[in-house]
């Protein structure tokens, strides 16, 4: 399994309410990345808008991961 798949599996087991959000963000980011890679006109306005959206999704995904780690850390301190 890849890191992303492991993260999603772990999220499903520990944070079921976040799974659909994480999975949706991940899938959309992957789709946009593929579109960006395939675009021939790297100077187009659409390219820059997609690239900006991709960066926002990556940041959001990282924040979700960070929140999960912090919550897990707090939980382990309690136990």
Q: What is the per-residue pLDDT for 15?
A: 44
What is the mean pLDDT of each successive set of 10 residues along the chain, which is 79 residues long? 55 53 69 84 85 80 82 80
Alpha helices in the chain (DSSP H): 3-14, 16-38, 45-78
- Confidence (pTM): 0.54
Residue 4 and residue 10: Cα distance in Å, rounded? 10
Q: What is the per-residue pLDDT for 20?
A: 65
Would you kindly state where each structural domain of the chain is located, as residue ranges?
A: 3-78
Q: What is the per-residue pLDDT for 5?
A: 60
Tell which residue, 33, 5, 8, has the closest CA to residue 19.
8
Q: What is the per-residue pLDDT for 42?
A: 79
Q: In the numeric block, which tokens belong to residue 24?
A: 């949706």
């Amino acid at each position: 399994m890849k890191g992303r798949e492991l993260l999603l599996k772990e999220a499903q087991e520990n944070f079921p309410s976040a799974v659909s959000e994480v999975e949706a963000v991940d899938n959309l980011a992957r789709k946009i990345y593929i579109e960006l890679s395939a675009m021939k006109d790297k100077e187009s306005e659409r390219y820059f808008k997609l690239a900006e959206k991709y960066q926002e999704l990556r940041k959001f995904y990282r924040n979700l991961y960070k929140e999960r780690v912090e919550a897990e850390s707090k939980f382990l301190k309690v136990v």
